[in-house]
Amino acid sequence: MSLTPRARAMREARRSAQFSKFRLVQLNLIPLVDTFVSIVFFALTTATVGELIPVMTGVSLPETKVGSPALQQNTIGIGSNPAQITFNGHALMTVQQAAAAPSNDPAQPLLVPSLYAALKSAADSIRRAKNIPQDQSVDSPLAIQGDRTMRFDLLSRIMQTARLAGFRTLTLQVKRTTPGETTASTTT
| Domain range summary for the chain, segments of one domain joined by + | 5-46, 63-187
Helix, coil or strand: residue 138: strand
Burial grade of 29 (CB within 10 A; 0-12, 13-18, 19 or more):
exposed
Region for 165 from its dihedrals, namely left if φ exceeds 0, alpha if ψ lies in -120 to 50, beta otherwise: alpha
Distance in angstroms between the alpha carbons of the first and the last residue of the chain: 91
Helix, coil or strand: residue 161: helix
Return the pLDDT at 80: 80
Return the pLDDT at 42: 77
Cis amide leading into 133 (omega within 30): no
Return the pLDDT at 59: 76
CA-based torsion, 27, 31, 36, 37: positive or negative: positive
Number of neighbouring beta carbons within 10 Å of residue 173 = 26
Helix, coil or strand: residue 69: strand
How far, in Å, CA of 52 to CA of 69, rounded?
A: 6
CA-based torsion, 70, 75, 76, 78: positive or negative: positive
CA-based torsion, 175, 56, 101, 186: positive or negative: negative
Return the pLDDT at 17: 81
Instruction: Decide if 127 contacts 135 (C-beta within 8 A).
Output: no
The pLDDT tens digits along the chain (188 residues) read: 677 888 889 998 888 888 777 766 677 788 888 888 888 887 777 665 444 567 777 777 766 655 555 445 788 988 888 788 888 888 888 888 888 888 888 888 888 888 999 999 999 988 988 898 888 888 888 888 888 888 888 888 999 999 999 998 888 887 766 655 555 555 44
